[in-house]
Structure 1
Amino acid sequence: MGNAKSSAMSKEILEDLKLNTKFTQTELTQWYENFQKQCPSGRITPEEFESIYARFFPDSDTKTYAHHVFRSFDTNDDGTLDFKEYIIALHMTSSGKMSLKLEWAFSLFDVDKNGYITKSEVAEICQALFKLIPVDEQSRLPEDENTPEKRANKLWAYFNKGDNEKLAEGEFIQGVLDNENALRLIQYQPLEK
């Protein structure tokens, strides 16, 4: 009887995900079946997540960035991602709503999960982001953002905060919405060839 339960998604989780994501019951059921095949334990470990992430950026060093993305998705801090965390993460990062993406971006930059971002946290994420950028693309970046330090300084400047001040979620979201360049700096988009 225990096996039957573990191979099917609970009604509570299904209803919760239907309410809180853009996915249909059919999509969620398909996602769940695939998730169970890929992760028979029902959980994704940080190492499995890093491996998945590396497939999307084969020419990049994804380990550090994947670690931060994983941390931002592991909402219950148990060191793994269950199906619900995985789907919520997928929804937040793929949803068309900019506000959802920026809420997730804030959680990514909030390394210590204290509800604020500091300049050193911005620097840490910029360092990880920079490793995603292939070396040939790094050489084509604008002069004021061609190192992780310059990128972090440029991004922090958009928020009008001193080096030792903190940035709240609302300030982060508004700062990015008010400046297209800030949005570009918080993510990695491959350059057009």
Structure 2
Amino acid sequence: MAAHFRMSDLGALTYYLGIEVRQGKEELTLGQSAYASKLLERSGMAKCKPCVTLMEERLKLTKASTAVKVDATLYRSIIGGLRYLVHTRPDIAFAMGYVSLFMEDPREDHWAAVKRLLCYVKGAVDQGIIFPKTDGSRLQLIVFSDADMTGDIDKRWSTSRVLIFIGSAPISWLLLKQKVVVLST
């Protein structure tokens, strides 16, 4: 390419669009610790106590909540930040998708779920995706899928989740609302 375009070599990639790239001898790591820290500061959660779980067990929120309204602009801004953080954090994808359902009219109980998610991020701010270097002969495609049973209590839809690995590294993840109402397992 240098023969056809004027260019300069800036060395190994270390940072791109908020994603930190660390290249070691045995692995390549993608993370967003600086971005996550800025998101925590912007949300006022920089000094929160970290927690080890994303959400309360069996948490069921509804759009018809009668709790006090919260600042919708801040709520949407934080959800947008969490959406960008999902690029290197598939572990938060489901919880982020769930709290995204309430962006139209966020309430105090919805905000509490977002704050819990931010506390989880605080406790795992340095996490990311690790791609171990291999010779390629031991790579195996592994796919996990799951669905919650009518997790959306407003429309009674289920959410499907898919996580695809090559070896031990996640390469793709997806959350998708099922368009069919399931009445039984």
TM-score with structure 2 setting the length: 0.28
Which structure has the highest helix share of the two? 1
TM-score with structure 1 setting the length: 0.27
Which of 1 and 2 has greater Rg? 2
